[in-house]
Structure 1
Amino acid sequence: MKKILSLVLVSALGGALTLGAYKVFVEPKSEFVLTTPAATPAFLPTSNVNNLAYEAPDFTVAAENAVNAVVHVKNVSISSGQMSLQDLFSGRTTPRAQMGTGSGVIINSDGYIITNNHVINNSDELSVTLNNNRTYKAEIVGSDPKTDIALLKIDADEDLPFVTFADSDQAKIGEWVLAVGNPFNLTSTVTAGIISAKARDLSGTSSQSFIQTDAAVNPGNSGGALVNTRGELIGINTAISSQTGSYIGYSFAVPSNIARRVIEDIMEFGNVQNGILGISGGSLNSEFSDKLGINDTQGIYVDSVVEESGAEKAGIKKGDIIKEIDNVKVSKFADLTGHIGAKRVGDVVNLKISRDGSLKTINVTLTRNETLTLPLVGRVKNAKHEDLKRFKASNGIKIIELDEKYADYWKKNGVKEGTIITSINDTKINSVDDAQEAIKNKSAYEPLRIELINANGEKERYNFR
């Protein structure tokens, strides 16, 4: 029995030694790695643009300043209105008061307010309500129908909050703006948008230059403020583009530089001193350039130069292409008229022009507008003394370009360039201002009566219905 136990122990010990030797000297070593939770992998964007969080602009300060400086303008006009049955039987008409409303912007602490001409036009009584609900009677200091700007004055017993003017030439497309006004009699309404375009002409005559924005503007906003995010005035809200009469996406404002020049003229001179460059022409594009036979497709092509204008005196010629005005690039005619609209008679502008393929810089002094496009006739200008003397006329204006549509008619009757117009609708005409006033005062049903001296020195009268 003892021999068996000894044999088992020896066998077990031998097995243990053999296994130990195998583990130490023969079996390959294994490495054990302690695993820990993996760190969250960093996923990098494929774009190399910094993905910074977008911070929305803060309009609160600008809105607060503008709201306190924008007023509610109420225009009361007296009209006969539609006759009632009682009026018909009594043979009388009863005057009726009609009210229109709009907005205005206080521009200094003394109570001067800028608004649209169409807001206060034909008014018999004007009142202005401030944001603190105090109401004052307002007087018209002056207005300019051409730019649709008017200046009002109220007498308040305290200094009033006001907005300061910004340089509208520096406003950028895509810049945030606020429209502040009183749409639908909802006082102190603020809407936000961006500048969609600049130098926008709605008339098709290149005589306007609006700032276009997508800030919501509705009836009643007219005359209100368009301000930047600093609360500075960059425009006077004036018009909307709509087929329904209400806002559908775009609105238009008179640039602050033009509005400021108009009211400064009204305050200083009592009227608006419009300076002109003295050219006519059009914006270049591929089609127009091909028609003219030139390679340039950008700029303003000078088609004609007004006699004795600043442009003529400075040496601007037909065929010149205006590239810049005061270092501002011009690509359409409204760019040019918009910049000049902020200037006055006697101001000097710097033009960069292309002539025969080379660039030139020319300084032009703006002159007073002495030309006018007269319906059915064409362009006329103030006559010089020698013009009147040649036709033995004591007064009148000179035709410088006949209306293309009616040119043959006039020429058949002995009327051509140089003819003197002495009277319009029985009003003696001494200047283009007199002619413009006579046309404006003519009713829609009244014929146009023109008295002139033809090329043969004969006085003739023409009636147009």
Structure 2
Amino acid sequence: MKLRPVLLVILIVCGFYYLTTRMMPVGALAGLLHHSLPLDGTTTSTLSGPAGSLSLTEANAAPAFDAEEQQNIAVYKRALPSVVNITSTAVAFDFFYGPVPQQGQGSGFILNKEGLILTNNHVIDNAQRVEVTLSDKHQYKAKVLTTDKAHDLALIKIENAPNLVPATLAGSQGLTVGQRVYAIGNPFGLSGTMTRGIISAIRSIRGQEGNPIEDAIQTDAAVNPGNSGGPLLNSRGEVIGITTLIASNPNGGADQSAGIGFAIPIDTAKAVLDDFAKYGHVRRPSLDIVTLPIGPDIADQIGLPAEYGILIERVLPGGAAERAGLHGGTQKAWEGNTPVMLGGDLIVEADGQTITTPQDLSNVLNAHHAGDTISLAIFRGHQKMSVKVTLSDAKEAASGQSV
């Protein structure tokens, strides 16, 4: 009687062995177990047809978004309704003087529910007709209210557009290299496109028309033709800049993203908007000077009394600096391959604030209007002086690159 349980166990084991090795193909049991016990959240399905069978591994359910993806989605949902596509139509003439319509595309963003939209000046420059397409695909004709070529900005307006969603504007002071940013626009006409990157640098650059852009935000977020005028956003979906420029290709070819794009800081745009609200047009203040940033090495080489500041290379005729008696350079020299003029006044303070870069001076000017008077601390030779300067209107200044 004691042997009966043992014999029963042996019989069951032998039967299982015979069943799995002789009556089932190799791996069939593993397949059954895989179907019945999905350990990785997937199942296998089979598609059958005249061409044969095809096995697919499918997820049981869509995975949840991680924290980074959730933030990306939140920025996009918040900002997209404020971003617009702008189409500008200009008329050129062919060889036989026949009119040939030419279209350009760019982006912009809504400032208020009354239909004010901010974009780049070069998006609508010389256009006979400007049209705006909202994120809901409704189209409106737009009127150009004012332009500021010096800062490559333009303010346009659409009428009778209901339920507009204004963008939220942040500040651009205190931005940090490494900070995450997002660009939304219409690259190559592909509306509602978002790209992501970081702030790569904050530097002074020259715009498309050679105009200086102080404190430009450099980013590696992919921007392409059609992004111009669109918003550059922080991680909360607030506007910190206006996408304006991509690095040019030195070898020629089509302009496209090279991982180096630039945006106009939103504080510059706020100053322009403030002018428009007060005067009905842009009155950006200017000193009407061409400058050279000074560091310790240059200061030591040319014998300056301070190792920081901005040196006045040239004073524009009839401008604010000339009227105040400021001096430009008189001695031609070279910085690399670039000619510079030495011997001019060295600006080290403006309204009590230390000036080490053109950006510092730009920040002081943006706190003022044309017609305001500011105080400059300068070195003329080795003598430190204080000079009062009444700021001029940038658009009234003589030709030349100035601040």
The TM-score with structure 2 as length reference comes to: 0.66
- 1:70 and 2:86 matched: no
Matched, 1:296 2:313: no
Matched, 1:340 2:365: yes
Structure 1: stretches of 5+ with no match in the other structure: 1-53, 84-92, 380-465
Structure 1 SS opposite 2:154: strand
Letter in 1 for 2:233: V
CA distance in 2, matches of 1:328, 1:231: 32
Which letter maps to 1:233?
V
Structure 1 counterpart of 2:200: 196
Map 1:39-438; keep pairs closer than 5 Å: 56=68, 58-81=71-94, 94-202=98-206, 207-209=212-214, 210-243=216-249, 244=253, 245-277=255-287, 279-294=289-304, 296-302=306-312, 321-323=346-348, 325=350, 330-337=355-362, 339-341=364-366, 343-347=368-372, 366-369=391-394, 371-373=397-399
Distance 2:211 2:301 in 1: 20
Alpha-carbon distance, 1:104 to partner: 0.9
1:260 is paired with a residue of what secondary structure? helix
**CA deviation vs aligned residue, 1:40-90 (integer Å, no higher than 9, x gap):** xxxxxxxxxxxxxx975823333222211010011122333466xxxxxxx
CA distance in 1, matches of 2:370, 2:305: 34
Are residues 255 and 231 of structure 1, via their aligned partners in 2, closer, same or farther at CA, if it must alter by over 3 Å?
same
Aligned residues: 314
| Mapped contact 1:208–1:338 kept (Cα < 8 A) | no
State the distance in 2 between where 1:119 and 1:265 align.
21
Change (3 A) 1:103 1:206: closer
Contact kept? 1:178, 1:228, Cα under 8 Å: yes
Contact 1:116 1:150 in 2 (8 A): yes
Letter aligned with residue 104 of structure 2: G
**1:146-187 Cα distance to aligned partner (Å, 9 max, x none):** 211111110134231011322212322222111110001111
Contact preservation (8 Å) 2:218, 2:263? yes
**In 1, Cα distance between the equivalents of 2:290 and 2:149?**
22
Letter in 1 for 2:246: I
Q: Which has the higher strand share?
A: 2
Query: In 1, distance between residues paired with 2:204 and 2:76?
Result: 26
Per-residue Cα deviation, 1:98-141 (whole angstroms, up to 9, x for no partner): 22111111011110001111111222221111001111111111
User: Which amino acid letter does the alignment assign opposite residue 368 of structure 1?
Assistant: D
For 2:176 and 2:383, the matched residues in 1 are separated by: 30
Distance in 2 of aligned mates of 1:62 and 1:342: 30
- 1:172-222 deviation line (CA, Å, top 9, x unaligned): 222211111000111111111122222322269783222211111100001
172-181 or 263-272: bigger deviation = 263-272
In the alignment, what sits opposite 2:37?
none
Change (3 A) 1:317 1:122: closer
Shift of 1:321: 4.1
RMSD after superposition: 3.7
Contact persistence 2:305–2:382 (CA under 8 A) = no
TM-score calculated relative to the size of structure 1: 0.58
Residues 295, 357 of structure 1: CA spacing in aligned structure 2 closer, same or farther, 3 A cutoff?
Answer: closer
Amino acid at match of 1:80: F
For residues 351 and 185 of structure 1, what CA distance do their matches in structure 2 show?
A: 47
CA distance in 2, matches of 1:195, 1:323: 28
**CA distance in 1: counterparts of 2:376 and 2:100, whole angstroms:** 54
How far, CA to CA, are the matches of 1:59 and 1:359 in structure 2?
52
Question: In 1, distance between residues paired with 2:386 and 2:356?
Answer: 17
Change beyond 3 A, Cα 1:272–1:124: same
Cα pair distance change 1:56/1:365, threshold 3 Å:
farther
Q: Which amino acid aligns with 2:311?
A: Y
Gaps of 5+ in 2: 1-65, 329-343
Amino acid at match of 2:212: S
Q: Is the 8 A contact 1:150 1:263 kept in 2?
A: no
Structure 1: how far apart are the matches of 2:314 and 2:99? 51
Percent of residue pairs bearing the same amino acid type = 36
Q: Relative contact order: is structure 1 or structure 2 higher (C-alpha 8 Å, sep ≥ 6)?
A: 2
What is the alpha-carbon distance in structure 2 between the residues aligned to residue 342 and residue 122 of structure 1? 30
Q: Do the aligned partners of 2:204 and 2:212 also contact (CA within 8 Å) in 1? A: no
Cα distance in 2, alignment partners of residues 172 and 325 from structure 1 = 24
Q: CA deviation at 1:350?
A: 6.6
Q: 1:277 to 1:82 in 2, by over 3 A?
A: closer
Q: Sort the Cα spacing of 1:255 and 1:111 in 2 relative to 1 into closer, same or farther, 3 A.
A: same
| Greater C-alpha Rg | 1
Residues 185 and 170 (structure 1), Cα distance of their counterparts in 2 relative to 1, 3 Å cut: same
